[in-house]
Structure 1
Amino acid sequence: MSRFPPNDIIHLVGDAPRFDLAESLGPDLRLGDLLGGPSGDGALPRLSDLPLGYGTAAGDAALRHEIALAHGVTADDVVVTTGGMQALFTVAFTLCDAQAEAVAATPLFPLALNALVAVGATVRHWPLSFDHGYQPDLERLVDLLSPSTRLVSMASPQNPSGVAIPMATLQEIVHLVERHAPQAHVLIDETYRQASYGAAAAPTALALGPRVISTGSLSKCHGAPGLRIGWAITRDAPLRQQLVTAKFNTAVSCGRLDEALALHLLRRSPTLLAERAASLAANLDVVARWARREAEWIDWIRPDAGALCCVRLKPGVFDDAAVERFHAALPAHEVRVGDGRWFGESARVFRLGFGLLTPATLAEALNAVAASWRAALAGA
């Protein structure tokens, strides 16, 4: 029996084609980049002296302190997890069961949705529309909330679109949940929040109320998914203790080496994030120029943060058969995009990841995407 619904997004952790535009992160940080940082305060201690015993269930105290500093909370509000996915699953496992309802804003990272399904919750989908810039419809949310709602799950900036929800809208969402689903928590996945394009990152939503949970990781903004370090942050002390217990029962602790490297990375975070912001801004400019040039064929929504955005094959140009031919043509052009169906979107929408490649290679990859849809139209 399968507890987790299958999704083709699993191929992202397999072999990649020449032009991988399906990924949602910037260039991978290399260990040498991290170890070669400046000496002094925050320098990495000699790895040969690192004890390899168990860590703590809540996570290394110094690491929790650094995460807390970036979110305006205390270290006692933070639970370090084995990647952001363990944070999402642990929250779902702790708050939801077969008697619970959960509201999920879609399109959504499929594993976040799968976690709700796996724990047996009744999932009520809160659709966000490409035509409305993936901004939430608050009246629709009210219709979905009930006294049985235990969790409202969303992301800001969103995956797959990179669109952020304005803080005023998030505040209204929290108020509506308090009014119509008083036992529910609001989970806001902020994994992409610090992946800005040179401007200051948006503030965290944790200040909006004690029932707000923020999740994140080092995978996207910092380019270190291989460290498998994420976190869940809540100012609800009993819930935080339940999350620690759930983490202990599923992973015991994170790896001591991962935590040590993560601490060093976060202490160098301002410099690393500034460098990556410049790279993302340059690549976003390449995408914007391409989208303007190809406007006869596609629509796109400019993201607010992250190395990802949504592109749509125009409904008036591509019928459903042409959309399928487009996806079938991509491998021949050595390119991969994120199929919108992975996230609960239409097949004519795809996630375009623009962070991995250099600007010149990205431009070449985007031309390969355009060649794929031209081949699809020619095959009609």
Structure 2
Amino acid sequence: MGTAGAGESAGASSTTTSTTTSTTTPRRGADLLPGLAVVAGATGLSFAAAHALPGLNASTAAVVLGAVLANAGLHRAALRPGTAFAARRLLRIAVVLLGLQLALPQLAALGLSGLAVVVVTVAVTFTGTRLIGRWLGVPPARALLVATGFSICGASAVAAMKDVADGDEDDTAVAIALVTLCGSLAIVLLPLLRGPLGLDPAAFGSWVGASVHDVGQTVATADRVPGALTAAVVVKLSRVVLLAPLVAGVALARSRRLAAQGVVAGGRRPPLVPLFVVGFLAAIALTSTGWVPAGVLAAAKTVQEVLLVAALVGLGTGIHVAVLRRTGGRALVLGLASWVLVAGVAYAGVRLLGT
């Protein structure tokens, strides 16, 4: 009898566990739905606003809407699992799909002078921004994320570097806010500077591609000058190719530093390259084969744009005015300095090398 009772008890326990598991797993998925529904609505509004206002980029609108939700007290606890999922998972998928817009022959089309402008601009901006951040007293993780976003491709680059930077959510939010702010200003200001700076449409496109942060912001800026868009996109996407080696280099340096300090001697060593960055490289390799149909690439580009805007809504909910007011002063100076640096170096390269 005792054995049977124990068996019944074990069976009941197993049934209870099974029931709990079966209700918990869907529950986790259900927890995402309210936040994802809000993200979907804000994504639609962002594209609608960009369509209605040609000077407005959907990515910028998305960040602003997310920040409004957070600072107006509308980002309730029930929404946070979904918005966090968008900010993390959807952004990583968008980064991988971004690789499908790149192909190695594009690098060859740039020529040595074009590649030199891209590489020097990225290297000087990344290194210079971190040095300026150190001089201003900006936390190293925050300065690293700002440097990555300004030197490569805005929010996507910040997301790629986030795990390696070992910062907190505030560091990410500030970096996203800064690249969004300066990239939005670039859409308005850079076309006004084309005449005074003596740039023809092709040279202006190269300057925009080498200096504006987000891919969407680059397109929006170059599209305001007829004949500039093609050069801007080619230079910009070539810049994006440097995202993977930059993240890998920083991750390797961090891993070696921690190992030297004995921090990971008895623990798990952090990955050299985040998995989604590997996916990004694999997507570039796949596109470079020429095997992917043009229709598939076009569809993937649309999906990537939608996912990126959705992710930026989620990231925007992490932008709190109180945090920016408390810690963003020096970071704002850093962002503006980095913006001037990337624009100045890119302009010098375009004028000197004639790309």
- Alignment TM-score, normalising by the size of structure 2: 0.28
Structure showing greater radius of gyration is 2
Q: Which is richer in strand?
A: 1
- Alignment TM-score, normalising by the size of structure 1: 0.27
Q: Which is richer in helix?
A: 2
